[in-house]
Amino acid sequence: MELEREEILSAIYHCVKCKLCSISSFHPNEEWLPLCPSGQFYGYQAFYAPGRLEIFREILEGELSEPTEGLLKAVYACTLCGACYEKCKQITSVGISLPELFEKQREELVKKGWALDAHKNIAEKIKETRNAYGEKHKYKYEAKSVYGAEVLYYIGCTARYRVPEIADAMLEIFDKLGIKYQVMEDEWCCGSVLLRTGRVEDAKALMAHNVEEIKNSGAKTVVFTCPGCLMTFKKNYPDMAVELVHSTQFLTRLGDMKVKKLGMEVAYHDPCHLGRDLGIYEEPRALLKEVADVKELKREREQAWCCGSGGGVKSAYDDFALWSAGERIKEAKEVGAEAIVSACPFCKRNLREAGEKEEMKVFDVVELVNRSLEG
Ligand code: SF4
Ligand code: SF4
């Protein structure tokens, strides 16, 4: 633990406060584009990565002893999007990523009892219902599940309860392509929201349950439409000796699915967990290009602008989350897209809410693939 503290402090002291992490690469874009949604929205140094690191140092070195509202906001109003780290690692070579440090910072705060009510409420809901939204009803697709099938679709709380059209599309694709699948009879939240908000202990029972269920399922491949769930399984779960893949990886490697073009001009939005965390940039683009004309946004791939909903921000600071998504919608309009397409239920939910007034259509890649599949 002491070593960990020293490692963390060493990483913090590597920050030279240059703030390169706050802007996208100037030369390819030829304009000054912000990269950190939190700093850009709130406007204070404390809301950019270096400010957040300084607060962490002060907490670890005992210089901060009061959980003021401003302090909690500076710590928790960060989407953990990782855009800052993409820039920072180019100059500091620090091995612990900035989002990892910010998660550790939240763990410290939770240990001190300095958590946000919004996040405590989610933890309570999960304890009671095993899903992050506190929903009590059972999922309708369990009836179609084939026990023992090699492919298991881990649906995740957001596609189950807030954007079910993504789960519908994924399952219809399996059906149309004749792929036998199973869903977990008793799927529990993956624990991502707990882990990202510093509630590590609360996530342990969820992870143990899901590991046991998956081991007993006989599945060889687990497919995820949610990059947050996938990243959590890859980063935080023990090895289950099963393959863990995102929907876009799974579908790309099937080869020719006999899809047809939909005649749409769309912009692709890289989800943070899928792109920066898992390095999956090509597969969603390859699939989309088969069904639509794809336009690149100015801030794309490693430098994608975050939709604003991750890291527990949507539940605690919805005004910030919607502003961030609104900025992305503007960017999609600028390139002349009629729809913005992502590959994440969290992104879809937030972009859709922000895009309602702008009349921007929002889809997940699997929805467009499903529409374009013949039969
Ligand atoms: S780029 Fe890295 S070193 Fe520079 S201010 Fe940001 S976090 Fe600190
Ligand atoms: S993780 Fe994203 S929101 Fe948080 S400081 Fe880095 S760029 Fe800003």
Angle between helices 49-60 and 69-76 (to 10 degrees): 120
Positive or negative, the Cα torsion across 336, 341, 347, 352?
A: positive
Residue 287's alpha-carbon distances to 167, 245, 323, 372, in angstroms, are 17, 15, 29, 11
Give the atom of ligand 2 at the shortest distance from the alpha carbon of 272.
Answer: 2
Q: Which of 81, 89, 92, 307 for a ligand 2 pocket mutation test, highest count of atoms within 8 Å of Cβ? A: 81
Mean pLDDT of 356-371: 93
Is 81 a pocket residue for ligand 2 (Cβ < 6 Å)? yes
The residue whose C-alpha atom lies closest to atom 2 belonging to ligand 2 is 81
What the block records as the tokens of 114 is 């300095």
User: Is residue 34 over pLDDT 70?
Assistant: yes
The residue whose C-alpha atom lies closest to atom 1 belonging to ligand 2 is 80
User: Is residue 139 over pLDDT 70?
Assistant: no
Residue pLDDT, tens place only, 229-279: 999 999 999 999 999 999 999 999 999 899 999 999 999 999 999 999 999
* Residue bearing tokens 């869903």: 183
Q: What gap in Å lies between CA 370 and CA 176, rounded to an integer? A: 9
Where do the DSSP E strands lie in the chain? 151-154, 181-182, 221-224, 243-246, 265-268, 293-295, 339-342, 361-364
Whole-number pLDDT of residue 98: 97
User: Is residue 35 over pLDDT 60?
Assistant: yes
Whole-number pLDDT of residue 25: 82
1: pLDDT confidence band, cut at 50, 70 and 90?
Answer: very low
Q: Which residues of 132-166 are buried (b: 16+ CB within 10 A; e: fewer)?
A: bbbeeeebebeeebeeebbbbbbbbbbbbbbbbeb
Angle between helices 49-60 and 83-92 (to 10 degrees): 80
Tell me, in angstroms, the distance from the centre of ligand 1 to residue 19's CA. Answer: 5
The residue whose C-alpha atom lies closest to atom 8 belonging to ligand 1 is 15
Tell me, in angstroms, the distance from the centre of ligand 2 to residue 285's CA. Answer: 24
Residue pLDDT, tens place only, 276-326: 999 999 999 999 999 999 999 999 999 999 999 999 999 999 999 999 999
Tell me, in angstroms, the distance from the centre of ligand 2 to residue 19's CA. Answer: 12
Is 80 a pocket residue for ligand 2 (Cβ < 6 Å)? yes
- 339 - beta bridge partners? 266, 361
The residue whose C-alpha atom lies closest to atom 6 belonging to ligand 2 is 84
What the block records as the tokens of 229 is 């769930």
* Residue bearing tokens 């994924």: 170
CATH architecture entry for 2-114: Orthogonal Bundle (1.10)
CATH 1.10.1060.10 domain range(s) in the chain: 2-114
CATH 3.30.450.20 for domain 140-252, yes or no, is no
The residue whose C-alpha atom lies closest to atom 3 belonging to ligand 1 is 15
Whole-number pLDDT of residue 31: 85
Average pLDDT, whole number, for the chain? Answer: 95
Q: Which ligand is nearest to the CA of 12?
A: 1
CATH 3.40.50.1860 domain range(s) in the chain: 140-252, 265-372
Is 82 a pocket residue for ligand 2 (Cβ < 6 Å)? yes
Is 78 a pocket residue for ligand 2 (Cβ < 6 Å)? yes
8 A C-beta contact, residue 136 and residue 165: no
Mean pLDDT of 116-122: 97
Of 195, 181, 266, give the one whose Cα is nearest residue 224.
181
265-372: CATH topology is: Rossmann fold (3.40.50)
Give the atom of ligand 2 at the shortest distance from the alpha carbon of 22.
Answer: 7
Q: Which ligand is nearest to the CA of 40?
A: 2
User: Is residue 10 over pLDDT 80?
Assistant: yes
Tell me, in angstroms, the distance from the centre of ligand 1 to residue 51's CA. Answer: 10
Q: What gap in Å lies between CA 132 and CA 188, rounded to an integer? A: 9
Give the atom of ligand 2 at the shortest distance from the alpha carbon of 38.
Answer: 3
Residue pLDDT, tens place only, 52-86: 999 999 999 999 989 999 999 999 999 999 999 99
357: pLDDT confidence band, cut at 50, 70 and 90?
Answer: confident
Ligand 1 site: residues with CB under 6 angstroms? 15-21, 49-50, 84, 87-88, 92
User: Is residue 110 over pLDDT 60?
Assistant: yes
The residue whose C-alpha atom lies closest to atom 4 belonging to ligand 2 is 78
User: Is residue 2 over pLDDT 60?
Assistant: no
Give the atom of ligand 1 at the shortest distance from the alpha carbon of 16.
Answer: 3
Give the atom of ligand 1 at the shortest distance from the alpha carbon of 49.
Answer: 7
